[in-house]
Amino acid sequence: MRPDWINDPIPCPSLTHQTRAMDRQNQLTKPPGSLGRLEEMAIRICALQGRDAPSLDQVRIVVFAGDHGVARAGVSAYPQAVTLEMVRNFSRGGAAINVLARQLGAHLEVVDVGVAADPGPLPGVISRRAGFGTADFRAAPAMSEAALAVACAAGAEAVRRARESGCELFIGGEMGIGNTTAATALACALLDEPPQRLAGPGTGLDPAGVARKVAALEEALTRHASALTDPWEMLRHLGGFEIAALTGSMLAAAQQGMPLLVDGFIVSVAALTAVRLRPETGSWLLFAHESAEPGHRAVLAALQAEPLLRLGMRLGEASGAALAVPLLRCACALHREMATFVEAGVSGGVNKARKKGI
């Protein structure tokens, strides 16, 4: 059963600010539409923030970490111990997302929602453990109802902390050996697609490894077929603690009216889960990039999402989303700071403005 908070109301973005932003874009010293998707993003951010002068100075990145029982099926190029090692690396500041967060001046937080071995207290790491990794979903549901509720709540709590800090844009990331397999299983269920179409190399599997992944996915989907009745049960049977936390963070961000920038394949599967649970969530999601994982395109299509970047990335950790932040910041700055035709005394735009009654 879903926790009650998941049904809390979700506001709509501000149509008033969206309309005013569109009007301003038509008055700026440029041909209409000449800044392409930067104009679209600026307008959307105005609507999401309810501001005429959008800003993304305060960015919060939260990486959720958890392990997966299906890793024992040989579905990853790396051993499960890497999850714990990477959590320690995040704490020390040595991972890719640490570097990118520093470049952006963004606050980075790591939440342990179920690494197989408890890392204990670490600087910058918050413990919200739902268990010692999920169960192997080839043999049993990935998690219990209680564990799923804990993991989702961990995501919602991270959003509340972000809101209290003055966050203007929330980014969720993930770390967990085997989580590409869990995300693919969930995507197969949500999209009613076979594993052969969506399964990919993840962190670098060879063809034999991809074949093992497909076999594990087929076994899990067959075993749980009768239980995959709705998105919540799909998440419980096939997902991961970090995927559940990401789903919870998206639902909570939408409920609190906070824009959220979606990272790659795994985070996009969480986004699809959140949207299937609460369709209104989709209005609060921006999409950063299309990863090299083959299932990502199908998930983005289901979300009717057009990502900003296509860089062939497949790292995770919210790294692709972090790289999209400068583009969004530039879109906001252009919207705020460019002169209008009237302000600049540039001919051509004045008459257009007068025709609009401005």
Q: What is the mean pLDDT of residues 104-111?
A: 98
Question: How far does the chain reach from its first CA to its final CA, in angstroms?
Answer: 53
Q: Which residues contact 232 (CB under 8 A, 6 or more apart)?
A: 2, 148, 277
Q: What pLDDT band is residue 356 in, cutting at 50, 70 and 90? A: very low
C-alpha closest to that of 106 among 271, 319, 258? 319
In DSSP notation, 57-88 reads --EEEEEEEE--GGGGGS-SSS-THHHHHHHH
Query: For residue 16, which amino acid is it?
Result: T
Give the mean pLDDT of 242-257: 98
277-324 pLDDT per residue, tens: 999 999 999 999 999 999 999 999 999 999 999 999 999 999 999 999
CA distance 165 to 160: 9
Predicted confidence band of residue 212 (pLDDT cuts 50, 70, 90): very high
Residues 6+ apart with CB under 8 A from 8: 255
Least confident of 62-66, 78-82, 90-94, 346-350: 346-350
CATH architecture observed for domain 59-327: 3-Layer(aba) Sandwich (3.40)
pLDDT at residue 350 tops 50: no
Q: Pick the catalytic residue: 193, 317, 337, 343?
A: 317
Per the prediction, the chain carries an average pLDDT of: 96
* Residue range 18-55, pLDDT digits in tens: 999 999 999 999 999 999 999 999 999 999 999 999 99
For the domain bounded by 12-53+334-355, which CATH number is listed? 1.10.1610.10
Q: Do the domains at 12-53+334-355 and 59-327 have one common CATH topology?
A: no
Active site (annotated) includes residue 85: no
HSE (side-chain half, CA atoms, 13 Å) at 233: 9
- The predicted structure's pLDDT at residue 347: 86
Confidence label for 203 from pLDDT (cuts 50, 70 and 90)? confident
Burial of 284 (0-12, 13-18, 19+ CB in 10 A): buried
pLDDT of residue 351: 42
Say whether pLDDT at 349 is over 90: no
Q: What are phi and psi of 110, to 5 degrees?
A: -115, 135
Q: Tell me, what's the pLDDT at 204?
A: 87
The predicted pLDDT at position 202 comes to 86
**pLDDT per position as a tens digit, 172-195:** 999 999 999 999 999 999 999 999
Element (H, E) at 352: helix 349-355
**What are the distances in angstroms from CA 331 to CA 10, 19, 119, 289, 291?**
26, 17, 40, 16, 22
Select from 37, 43, 30, 99 the least CA-distant residue to 352: 30
Extents of the domains making up the chain: 12-53+334-355, 59-327
How far is residue 309's CA from residue 56's CA, in Å, rounded to a whole number?
18
